[in-house]
Amino acid sequence: MVTASGLHNIMMGAARKAARSLNRDFGEVEHLQVSKKGPADFVTRADKQAEEVLVEELSISRPGYGFLLEEGGEIKGTDPSHRFIIDPLDGTTNYLHSIPHFCISIALEREGELIAGVIYDPLRDEMFRAEKGKGAFLNDRRLRVSARNGMSASLLATGIPFKGKPGHSQSVKEIHRLSQQVSGIRRMGSAALDLAWLAAGRYDAFWERNLNIWDIAAGIVLVREAGGLVTDMNGELQIDGSSILASTPGVYEFVKSELGEIKP
């Protein structure tokens, strides 16, 4: 059994507390207050409640740290070197449709570098965690990305743009090109969980465009600490959410090359 660090205990405790309201309201869509952020981009009372709990809990243990929040925007802290990056409910559309695939994502940034991440799937009670230089874990089990090298046996994950987002035709072209060479492609509706599942060896690669940093920050730490590679789709290490390619070392170059052949 690997003991979690003090930092991880704080992040995991906050995630578990925030998950209580998500679990309570899941499946009760008719009772949720839902508003739109975009043409097909929704926010629920559950998102906001979970975010409030996370900020409150993390602020108690790490006073002065700043926040970058999906719903609440940026909160400056008195400690400018540390910032939590939070998505309180990644997979909101799944949640609204009572599809049991969503999570809480928390990352910690120190002086601009992502150093820790927690992704919690409350319905499965799967707690993914990673800290720079200390490995990645699912509950108490050490994680490693899969060792698959060939594309024919690989399972990939991606995101498909919804109404109001750009890149529909390009996404179709990418899926068409890669689906002919792999064992399958999944679109599950939560980028954070896609990355956590990649770190756990369930997927072999994940790519998506037009994300926000809170969708992927914790997952980046997880994949890298599990031995995977994470860049943007041009191969750059600095990732802002405009694109991401995460993969096992065995298929990274092939997936990057294939995606690079596709013109918008």
How far is it, in rounded angstroms, from Cα 39 to Cα 52? 25
How far is it, in rounded angstroms, from Cα 139 to Cα 120? 10
When pLDDT is cut at 50, 70 and 90, the band that residue 44 belongs to is low
Model confidence pLDDT, tens digit, residues 53-75: 999 999 999 999 999 998 789 99
On the CB side of 54, CA atoms within 13 Å amount to 35
Going from the C-alpha of 33 to that of each of 93, 96, 122, 243, the distances in angstroms are 14, 11, 21, 31
How many Cβ atoms from other residues are within 10 Å of residue 204's Cβ? 28
Give the pLDDT score at 163.
74
Model confidence pLDDT, tens digit, residues 174-185: 899 999 999 999
Percentage of residues in the chain having pLDDT higher than 70: 93
How far is it, in rounded angstroms, from Cα 144 to Cα 141? 10
Angle (CA) 32-38-39 rounded to 5° is 95
Model confidence pLDDT, tens digit, residues 94-132: 988 889 999 999 999 999 999 999 999 999 999 999 999
Going from the C-alpha of 35 to that of each of 40, 47, 55, 84, 131, the distances in angstroms are 10, 11, 21, 25, 35
Under 8 Å between Cβ of 195 and 219 = yes
**What domains can you pick out in the chain, each with its CATH number?**
6-142 (3.30.540.10), 155-260 (3.40.190.80)
Q: What's the whole-number mean pLDDT along residues 33-40?
A: 47
Under 8 Å between Cβ of 243 and 140 = no
